[in-house]
Amino acid sequence: METIRYSKIFLEDLETGNGTSKVTLADGRVVTLTKIRLPLVATAQTVAIAANAENHTETFGDIGTGDYQVSPEFSWFSTYIITSRSATGFTIAFGSQAPAAGGTMRYEVK
């Protein structure tokens, strides 16, 4: 295996998503590069939950995979189950309804 070192990396050099892509180098060789799953290392998000809600669907940009974990925290006491998950979001069902005044959910996708 040959390692080629470059002095700088620019945003245009990186491709996010899942999987690989083929690139043709200046000398004509074709190499396979692994895409970077940057959205999965995003910071925690906080969203409003509707009054008396029993579930919530959260959408985000396409991260290229539905293979991730959701770690939620609620402003009220509740259990939860993730009922669906895709590359563009997830649906969560609450064991206890959101409060009558509504609530918040803080979550991380890992």
Residue span of the structural domain in which 74 resides: 39-109
- The reply to whether 29 falls in a domain is no
Q: Work out whether strand 103-109 and strand 89-94 pair parallel, antiparallel, or are unpaired.
A: unpaired
* Predicted pLDDT of residue 25: 78
pLDDT digits (tens, 9 = 90+) for 16-71: 666 788 878 778 888 888 877 655 545 688 999 999 999 999 998 777 788 888 99
Beta bridge partners of 32: 22
- The reply to whether 54 falls in a domain is yes
| Cα torsion through 76, 82, 83, 84, rounded to 10 | 130
- The reply to whether 8 falls in a domain is no
pLDDT digits (tens, 9 = 90+) for 65-78: 888 889 999 999 99
| Number of domains into which the chain is organized | 1
- The reply to whether 3 falls in a domain is no
* Predicted pLDDT of residue 11: 61
- The reply to whether 44 falls in a domain is yes
* Predicted pLDDT of residue 68: 86
Q: Which residue has the higher pLDDT, 3 or 78?
A: 78
User: Can you tell me whether residue 12 is helix, strand or coil?
Assistant: helix
